[in-house]
Chain A
Amino acid sequence: MAKDNLKKEPLMRIVKRTKNSTISNKMAVIVRVVAILLALIVCGIFIFVLTKTNPIKVYYGMIEGAMGTNRRVWNTLRDTMILLAVSLAITPAFKMKFWNIGAEGQILVGGIATAAVMRYMGATMNGPGLFAVMIVVSIVAGMVWGIIPAIFKAQYNTNETLFTLMMNYIAIQLTSYFCIVWEAVKGSGTIGTINQETRNGWISTSFLGNIFGQFNYSINVILVIILMVVMAYYLKKTKHGYEIAVVGESENTARYAGINVKKVIIRTMAISGALCGLTGFLLVSGSSHTISTNTAGGRGFTAIIVSWLAKFNPYMMLLISFFLVFLDNGAVQIASQYGLNESASEVMTGIVLFFLIGCEFFLNYRVVFRGKHEEA
C-alpha cells in the first residue's frame, strides 16, 4: 500500500518558498553566480561557433572593451548611471505593480523639453538659471507623459502595460517631428549637436578634471548616486514608500487600511514619469548634447529587467546596471574586434538575461524529489 503510493508520487514537485523557508543570502548569491557562469558558457559556445577563437581570449577582449582605457571606463560609468537612473525612476511604480513600460517615451519627452530649452533659451540665458529651467521642463514633460496612463488606470482600470507602450511610440514620433523641425541640414532629419560652439546648457564634463582627466561624467555620476540614496530612503523609510508597498501587495488591503489607492497610483506614476524625464535631461544635457529617436536606446525596457532582478533594491540596481552595461560595451568591442555584426551584443545580453531571469525560480521555489518527505 505504502509502496504503491510512493510510486504514484511524481518524480519531483515544486514547493513555493514561504517566510519560514526563504533562501539564505549566501545561497541566493551562489544561484545567481552559477546562472551567470552558465550564461557565459553558452555565450562562449556561441562565440566559438562563429569566430573559432578561444572564448577566454574573447572575454578578455570584453574587459578591455568596457574598462580598457580611461575614456572607456567613463563611458561605461556614464551608461551605467543612465541605466540606473531609469531603473530607479520606474521602481516606485513597479513596486506598486503598475507596469510602466513607457519609460522610453517619458525619457524622450524629457529630452525634447531639454533640447528645446537649450535651443531657444541657451543664447540669452546661461548659468544656473538655464539649468534650472531645463530641469523643471524635463521633469514636467516626463510627469505629464507618465500621469496620462495613470489617470486612466486609476479611474477606469485601463491596462497600463499596453497604454504606456503605445505612449512610447507617440513620443518617438514626436521626437522625429522635432528632429525635422530643428534639423541642422535640410533633409537630414537630424539636429546635430546643440550649441556646439557656446556649449550653453551642457553639463560640464571637465568637473574635477584634475583628478579624473578632462573628460569625465562625474556630475552625472554624483547626481544619480544621490538619486539612488534618496530613492532607497523614499521606498523604505517614508509613508509614501509604505503605501506603495501595500498597494503593490493588494489593492483591497490598501483600501481597507484607508489608503486612497487612486491617489497613490497617480502620485507614484507622476514621480516615476518625472524621474524618467529628468533622465532625459541627463542624456541630452549631460552626454549626447543632441536628441534623436535613439536617445533612450531601449533603456526603458532594460530598466524593467534591472529593477525586477534587483527586487526593487536601489543598491542592487547599481550592481546589475553596471553588469549589463559592462556586458554590452564589452560585447560591442569584441564584435568589432572579431568582425562580428554589432547586434552580437544584444544576443549575448539576451542569453545572460534568460539565465538571470530563469534562476529567479530557484529563489522563489524549492524542488522536492520523490521520496523525500519533510515535516510541514
Chain B
Amino acid sequence: MNIILIILKKIFTVTFIQKAVTQGIPILYGATGEIMTERSGNLNLGIPGIMYMGGIGGLVGAFAYEQSVAVPNGWVGVICALVVSMLFALIGGLIYSFLTITLRVNQNVTGLALTTFGVGFGNFLGGSLSRIAGSAGQVSVYITGQTFRTKIPFLSTKLGVVSDIVFSYGFLTYFSIVLAIFLSWFLFKTRKGLNLRAVGEDPAAADAAGINVIRYKYVATCTGAVISGLGGLYFVMEYLGGTWQNNGFGDRGWLAIALVILALWKPARAIWGCILFGGLYILFAYVPFGDAMQEIFKMLPYVVTIVVLVISSVREKKDSQAPKSLGLSYFREDR
C-alpha cells in the first residue's frame, strides 16, 4: 500500500501534469487528424510518417528563414514553420489520397509505405539539413523554437497553481484543444459533418444520396494529414525547442492511432485521452522498481488501448465502433 501512496504522491504534482500534457499534445494532433481521416473511411497508417514530415517541414521553414536574415524575428519564423510544416504534411496526405482514393490501391499497404518514407524523409533531412545549407553542427532554430514556447502573458504568471497547470504552454497546445472541440462540433452538429460520417459508414449510400464521395474523402484525408503534421511540428518546436533528434519522435505516431480507438472516433474525447496517454507514457519514470521494471511500465498505453479495443468490440455499442467502411476503397461500380 505504501508504495502506491509514494507513486501517487509523485504523480499529483504540477510537473507531472505539465509533462503529461506536453507528451499528450502531439498525440492529440495525430489522433484528431486520424479521426478526420478515418471518418471518411480511410485507415491511414501513414500518420506516423506524416507527423515526421510535418515536424521536419517546420524545421525546414524556420531554418530557411533564420539563415536568410541577419536578425530573425521569432513570429515570422513561426509563420514560416507553420506554412512549410503544413505543406509537407499535405504532400504526405496527397500521396496517400491519390494512391488509395484515385488509384484505389490497398490502404494499409499504402499507409505503411508512407510511414517508411515519411520517417526516412524526416530523419534524412533532419540529419543533413545543416550540411546541405553548408554549415556545420546540428540544425537549430532557437529563436523560432523559443517563440513557439511563448506563454500567454499575465495568465501564465499571476494565477499561482492554475497558471502552472493550465496556462504554462505555447499556443499550439491551446490550438489543439480548440481544434478538437471544433471538429467534434463539425462532425456531429453540421450537415457537412453528417455527410462525412455517411461517407465513412456507407460510401455507396452516400453516393446515391448525392454526396461527392471522392471529394469528401480527399478533403478529409488531406485535412487530417495537415492536422497530424502539426503534432510533429509541436514536438520539434515546443518540445525540443527547435532542433531535430534522430527518431526522436519515436512511436508517438502509432500512439496517436491507438488514441483514436480510446476516443471512440470522437475528437473531443481525445482531449482527456491524450493527457491520460501522456501520463501513462511517462509514468515509468515515477515508478520505484528499478530500470527493468520501467520498461514493463512503458507498455501501459498499449495495454490500455487493447483493453478499450476489446471492451468496445464486446459491447457492440453502435456509436462507439469504427466507421463501417474503414479500410475499404470505394469504387462506384462495385456492388
Assess whether A341 is in contact with B128, with CB atoms less than 8 Å apart.
yes
Shortest distance from the beta carbon of B44 to any chain A beta carbon, whole Å? 12
Assess whether A152 is in contact with B310, with CB atoms less than 8 Å apart.
yes
Asked if A230 is at the interface of the complex by the 8 Å CB criterion, the answer is no
Assess whether A350 is in contact with B120, with CB atoms less than 8 Å apart.
yes
- Of the candidates A101, A159, A309, A349, the one having the most CB atoms from chain B within 10 angstroms of its own CB is A159
Q: Which residues of A contact B115 (CB under 8 A)?
A: 301
Assess whether B292 is in contact with A156, with CB atoms less than 8 Å apart.
no
Shortest distance from the beta carbon of B125 to any chain A beta carbon, whole Å? 8
Name the one of B103, B120, B132, B334 contacting A349, with C-beta atoms under 8 angstroms: B120
Shortest distance from the beta carbon of B139 to any chain A beta carbon, whole Å? 12
Shortest distance from the beta carbon of A355 to any chain B beta carbon, whole Å? 10
- Selected interface stretch from B105-113, B146-154, B158-166, B224-232: B105-113
Cα–Cα, bound, A360→B132 (Å): 36
Write 30 A-B pairs (CB below 8 A) sorted by A numbering.
A101-B45, A156-B310, A159-B322, A161-B45, A162-B305, A163-B306, A163-B309, A166-B306, A167-B306, A170-B303, A173-B299, A176-B298, A177-B293, A177-B295, A177-B296, A179-B295, A189-B291, A301-B115, A304-B109, A305-B109, A305-B112, A339-B131, A343-B120, A343-B122, A344-B120, A346-B120, A349-B116, A353-B117, A358-B98, A360-B105
- Of the candidates B109, B127, B298, the one having the most CB atoms from chain A within 10 angstroms of its own CB is B109
Assess whether B310 is in contact with A158, with CB atoms less than 8 Å apart.
yes
Assess whether B106 is in contact with A344, with CB atoms less than 8 Å apart.
no
Listed in ascending order, the chain A residues whose CB lies under 8 Å from chain B are 14-16, 50, 99, 101, 152, 156-159, 161-163, 165-167, 169-170, 173-174, 176-177, 179-181, 189, 298, 301-302, 304-305, 308-309, 339-341, 343-347, 349-351, 353-354, 357-358, 360-361, 364-365
Assess whether B108 is in contact with A99, with CB atoms less than 8 Å apart.
yes
Cα–Cα, bound, A350→B117 (Å): 4
Assess whether B333 is in contact with A169, with CB atoms less than 8 Å apart.
no
Shortest distance from the beta carbon of B308 to any chain A beta carbon, whole Å? 10
Q: Which residues of A contact B112 (CB under 8 A)?
A: 101, 301-302, 304-305
The contact size tier of chain B is: 35 or more
- Selected interface stretch from B59-67, B77-85, B251-259: B251-259
Known: A170-B299, A304-B112. 5 other contacts (CB 8 A): A156-B314, A173-B298, A347-B117, A358-B98, A358-B103
Shortest distance from the beta carbon of B164 to any chain A beta carbon, whole Å? 31
Cα–Cα, bound, A304→B305 (Å): 23
Cα–Cα, bound, A95→B15 (Å): 49
Assess whether A157 is in contact with B296, with CB atoms less than 8 Å apart.
no
Cα–Cα, bound, A157→B106 (Å): 21
Shortest distance from the beta carbon of A7 to any chain B beta carbon, whole Å? 21
Cα–Cα, bound, A364→B103 (Å): 10
Assess whether A162 is in contact with B257, with CB atoms less than 8 Å apart.
yes
Shortest distance from the beta carbon of A368 to any chain B beta carbon, whole Å? 12
Asked if B327 is at the interface of the complex by the 8 Å CB criterion, the answer is yes
Asked if B87 is at the interface of the complex by the 8 Å CB criterion, the answer is no
| B331, closest chain A residue (CB) | A16
List residues 258-315 of chain B with CB under 8 A from any CB of chain A.
258, 261, 291-293, 295-296, 298-299, 302-303, 305-306, 309-310, 313-314
Asked if B222 is at the interface of the complex by the 8 Å CB criterion, the answer is no
A169-B251, A308-B109, A360-B105 given as contacts; is B119 within 8 A of A346 (CB)?
yes
Q: Which residues of B contact A162 (CB under 8 A)?
A: 257-258, 261, 305, 309
Assess whether A158 is in contact with B313, with CB atoms less than 8 Å apart.
yes
A161-B43, A346-B120, A350-B117 given as contacts; is B313 within 8 A of A357 (CB)?
no
Assess whether A343 is in contact with B123, with CB atoms less than 8 Å apart.
yes
A166-B306, A358-B99 given as contacts; is B116 within 8 A of A301 (CB)?
yes
> By DSSP majority rule, is chain A's interface helix, strand, loop, or mixed?
helix
Q: Which residues of B contact A305 (CB under 8 A)?
A: 109, 112-113
Cα–Cα, bound, A160→B278 (Å): 24
Cα–Cα, bound, A304→B108 (Å): 9
Q: Mark B196-207, 1 if CB is under 8 A from A, else 0.
A: 000000000000
Asked if B10 is at the interface of the complex by the 8 Å CB criterion, the answer is no
Q: Which residues of A contact B95 (CB under 8 A)?
A: 354
Assess whether B251 is in contact with A159, with CB atoms less than 8 Å apart.
no
Assess whether A354 is in contact with B127, with CB atoms less than 8 Å apart.
no
Shortest distance from the beta carbon of B262 to any chain A beta carbon, whole Å? 11
Assess whether B124 is in contact with A347, with CB atoms less than 8 Å apart.
yes
Assess whether B124 is in contact with A343, with CB atoms less than 8 Å apart.
yes
Asked if B233 is at the interface of the complex by the 8 Å CB criterion, the answer is no
Shortest distance from the beta carbon of B60 to any chain A beta carbon, whole Å? 14
Q: Which residues of B contact A351 (CB under 8 A)?
A: 117
Name the one of A16, A163, A176, A341 contacting B124, with C-beta atoms under 8 angstroms: A341
Asked if B171 is at the interface of the complex by the 8 Å CB criterion, the answer is no
Asked if B114 is at the interface of the complex by the 8 Å CB criterion, the answer is yes
Name the one of B103, B108, B291, B331 contacting A161, with C-beta atoms under 8 angstroms: B108
Assess whether A341 is in contact with B117, with CB atoms less than 8 Å apart.
no
Cα–Cα, bound, A189→B310 (Å): 33
Cα–Cα, bound, A14→B103 (Å): 10
Shortest distance from the beta carbon of A66 to any chain B beta carbon, whole Å? 18
Q: Which residues of B contact A343 (CB under 8 A)?
A: 119-124, 127
Cα–Cα, bound, A161→B327 (Å): 10
Assess whether A302 is in contact with B309, with CB atoms less than 8 Å apart.
no
Assess whether B309 is in contact with A159, with CB atoms less than 8 Å apart.
yes
Asked if B192 is at the interface of the complex by the 8 Å CB criterion, the answer is no
